[in-house]
Structure 1
């Protein structure tokens, strides 16, 4: 069954894909959206971003709400 694998498997990252990945990560796009746009897996994008020194987000995080010290309600 391995002979049915497509050329997408383990293909090298191009300079254009690296730039697109960097731009999308810096714009705050989520990892699943980036992966679909680049036609790569989330793991591939995450690993490549890490090797480029970028931090990715896999889910949207709500605004941080906490206790404000020193103020009274």
Structure 2
């Protein structure tokens, strides 16, 4: 019998999460809003502008004390 050590993603609770997604059609970069340090971030992959949106993602808390947006 096989027992996987990986936790299935279906076990994790999900919720609609605010994200920033890249506006460049050739780039699929995105990041969670609560992990952004700028009020208007740029894509880390292609340096294009990003726009706000929502995505269904597993719940994840940012406990960083440095979380302030400039």
Interval containing the TM-score (normalised by the shorter chain): under 0.3
Of the two, which has the highest radius of gyration?
A: 1
Scaled by the length of structure 1, what TM-score is found? 0.25
Scaled by the length of structure 2, what TM-score is found? 0.26
Give the structure with the higher percent helix.
1
Give the structure with the higher percent strand.
2
Q: Which has the higher contact order (CA 8 A, sep 6+)?
A: 2
